[in-house]
Amino acid sequence: MSLLARPAAVPRRGVLRLAIGALAVMTAAGCGRITLGGPEEYTPPPPGIDDLFRIDLLTALERALAGTEQVIAVHDPGTEEPALSATLTTLAAALPIQRTALLTAAQREKEDEAREDPAPGQTPSPVPADAPTDPAGLLETLVELRDLATDAARQVSGSLARPVVAIAAHTAWIAQRLADTGALGEVRPPTSAEQIVATREVPATDPPSIGAESDYHTSIEQTQQEEWYAAYLHEVLAARTEEEAREEHLGQVEVHRTRAEELALLAEQDGAPVVPRQAVYALPGGTLDAQLAGRLPTLLAQGLLIDHVALTGAAPFERRPLPIAAALEEAVRLAGMVDALEPLPSLEVEGPPARS
């Protein structure tokens, strides 16, 4: 006699019932409820950190644009205040481009469709109730936009951080230009690197955005090199000038050396290339004539602005405060040097859709 137990015979109909029951258990356990007759109602995922900041930034940009248009219409500095008029014109041209840069593909498509095939009775968007109506109010609005973009650049994904910090830098530049050309007094300085911290709780469903390590390493290496080089050239310029100009250059030597040292420390901690300071660097073109010496501070500030915007987009979240603050500092310096700056420094500019 065999000691192995034989399985009990189960009628075929019973097997079918067991299989259906097992399938029901599997469905309930692993696949969720199934509704017969059609798909369930779609529930969109909760907004992520990019969406939350994008909504606020678009609102702030639209308020600034409406305020700029109102200030131009009401005050119209014209020929009496040509510098202020030029600043307002520059701002009015830049804000729509920056707004377009923040739109998602779906938002752009929706606006394109509305423009090409407007709905019957479609009217222009109303002017925000809190839009400023005078230059002082507009300056305050720009400072708020600058600070919001600064906060956003610290927390959003890398792909969004670069245009956002570019907007922050341009806004810092144009706010200083507006204060200077409109005789509006001192502008509250941008946030320092130590003060740039995460200001918003990131939704639990938001996946962290981690860029390519090679891009970060390349960018931080490049920025170290440029900071050391800028420090050396300002030292050369200091030796060729006197009094206030000399002190200004020596101050910049300290700024750039400090940044280079801080970047080198971060690079060492992150396994990126560390760029040591060289005793001597080659001068542009081999010699430094008076004309080039006069342009050099502007060229250095423009190059460093681009370097730090790029580094912000490539760096991990906790490494962004330094390049964000540096980009804003260089933008403010450029306000006294140039009367034109790309709306999105270091990025290709795409024309905005028509406003509805």
pLDDT, mean of residues 212-241:
96
pLDDT digits (tens, 9 = 90+) for 51-85: 999 999 999 999 999 999 999 998 776 667 889 99
Higher pLDDT, residue 69 or 14: 69
pLDDT digits (tens, 9 = 90+) for 243-297: 999 999 999 999 999 999 999 999 999 999 999 999 999 998 888 899 999 999 9
Residue 40 CB neighbours (<10 A): 9
Lowest pLDDT segment from 35-44, 50-59, 105-114: 35-44
**Cα–Cα distance, 82 to 130 (Å, whole number):** 27
For the chain, give the percent of residues with pLDDT over 90. Answer: 69
Q: Identify the H or E element spanning 109.
A: helix 105-116
Per-residue pLDDT band at 8 (split at 50, 70, 90): very low
**Cα–Cα distance, 165 to 345 (Å, whole number):** 9
**Cα–Cα distance, 52 to 44 (Å, whole number):** 15
Tell me the pLDDT of the chain averaged across its residues.
Answer: 86
Q: What's this model's pTM, rounded to 2 decimal places?
A: 0.84
Residue 168 CB neighbours (<10 A): 28
Q: What is the dihedral of CA 84, 87, 93, 98, to 10 degrees?
A: -130
pLDDT, position 121: 64
**Cα–Cα distance, 15 to 133 (Å, whole number):** 79
Per-residue pLDDT band at 122 (split at 50, 70, 90): low
pLDDT digits (tens, 9 = 90+) for 287-310: 889 999 999 999 999 999 999 999
Q: With contact defined as beta carbons under 8 Å apart, do 176 and 324 qualify?
A: no
Backbone angles phi, psi at 54, to 5 degrees: -60, -40
Per-residue pLDDT band at 39 (split at 50, 70, 90): low
Lowest pLDDT segment from 7-11, 155-159, 304-308, 334-338: 7-11
Distances (CA, A) of 97 to 45, 135, 163, 342, 351: 29, 21, 11, 10, 6
pLDDT, position 229: 98
**Cα–Cα distance, 83 to 90 (Å, whole number):** 11
